[in-house]
Amino acid sequence: MKLNPIRILCVAIMLLVATAVGADRTMYIQSPSARLLNAPKMDASGPAIARGTAITQTGEEGLFFRVRTDSGTGYVPRLYASAFPPSQKVNFGTGIDKDTAVKARARASNYSQTVAARGISESQTLRTRSGLQDFDFDSIDWIEHVQISQAEMSAFTSGGIPK
């Protein structure tokens, strides 16, 4: 009897799928407010589970994972668990070179200039990279004082042309 390679491949795939469906997988709690619920409902009761705790998923029910922990079995909302451990806190103040800090201040300064030029915040001096002649303050003032009625807004959002 000669073995058919396609038949062998199909049997192997079926065995892999059957094994994967029945396999438990390790997951990690991501939320500090997670609880091991006694029913697949958000208002169900249960003990708290610490963030980063490894849990074993044994099934799924709607928006909940059925899980097993060291303290028992129950349900955890899908949003509170992940296949990856939670990331550690990141401190953005360390490891930044001075050039990066200077560039960040320059970006913030450019933003402040734009805001001040539009009259959103007050500034004693207008620091620009070019002359004042490059700014059309009259147009900015005009556009900020345009009044749009509710009828015009409704016509515009419904795809019509306001009259």
Report whether pLDDT(48) > 90: yes
Q: Could you tell me where the beta strands, DSSP code E, fall in 4-70?
A: 25-29, 54-61, 64-69
What would the mean pLDDT of 104-111 be, rounded to a whole number?
Answer: 58
Q: What is the mean pLDDT of the chain?
A: 76
pLDDT of residue 69: 93
pLDDT tens per residue across span 60-86: 999 999 999 998 999 999 989 999 888
- CA separation for the pair 109, 116 (Å, rounded): 10
pLDDT of residue 10: 74
What would the mean pLDDT of 156-163 be, rounded to a whole number?
Answer: 69
CATH class of 5-82: mainly beta
**Cβ atoms within 10 Å, residue 37:** 20
pLDDT tens per residue across span 116-132: 655 554 444 555 555 56
pLDDT tens per residue across span 6-41: 877 777 777 665 555 556 899 999 988 999 999 999
pLDDT of residue 133: 62
- CA separation for the pair 35, 152 (Å, rounded): 51
- CA separation for the pair 129, 131 (Å, rounded): 7
* pTM higher than 0.75: no
Report whether pLDDT(58) > 90: yes
What residues does each domain of the chain span? 5-82, 98-146
What would the mean pLDDT of 138-157 be, rounded to a whole number?
Answer: 81
pLDDT higher at 71 or 144: 71
Torsion of CA 23, 51, 75, 65, to 10 degrees: -40
